Amino acid sequence: MDYGLSKKVDETVPVVRWIASLSNGETIYENVIKDEIPAWERLSKYVEDHDISITNLRLQIAGTEVKLPAGQQGYIQKKVAWTVGGTINGLRLCIGYVQNGLALIYEVDENRGSRTQRTVDPGEPWTIYHADIRRANANSI
């Protein structure tokens, strides 16, 4: 199966992108494929099918990089847009990690301002868990 993942920087993607390091040594860069599911969903399928994990996640935005701690239970990525009168008024990019059932999420807006929030909901379906956690969950069903 071709997952359409990019193992090198895709210059067609704006300078806003996530970069994931994997337990098999690969580095995956967010890419856009027209009429295809988002890169994060393709990455999720890839790590599950190959029984590997994300070992680190970072976000590049306008020359700034937000790097998360390595080796967490899971990693989160999502984009949140808000509208006013039907027009997109802003965009926040969210990356985070799961540790002990809590998610620590970094929200970065287009102007690179950031804030942090803690939540008990790790943001499903936007979370990719380590392979051992996926196996444990599969065995408990």
116 strand-pairing partners: 106
Lowest mean pLDDT among 28-32, 77-81, 93-97, 127-131: 77-81
Quick check: 6 pLDDT over 60? yes
Helix, strand and coil in the chain, % to nearest 5: 15, 45, 40
Residue owning tokens 């027009």: 87
Beta bridge partners of 18: 59
pTM: 0.81
Structure tokens of 90?
């802003």
For residue 77, the cross-strand partners are: 95
State the residue for tokens 């599969």.
138
Structure tokens belonging to residue 53? 């994990």
Average pLDDT of every residue of the chain:
81
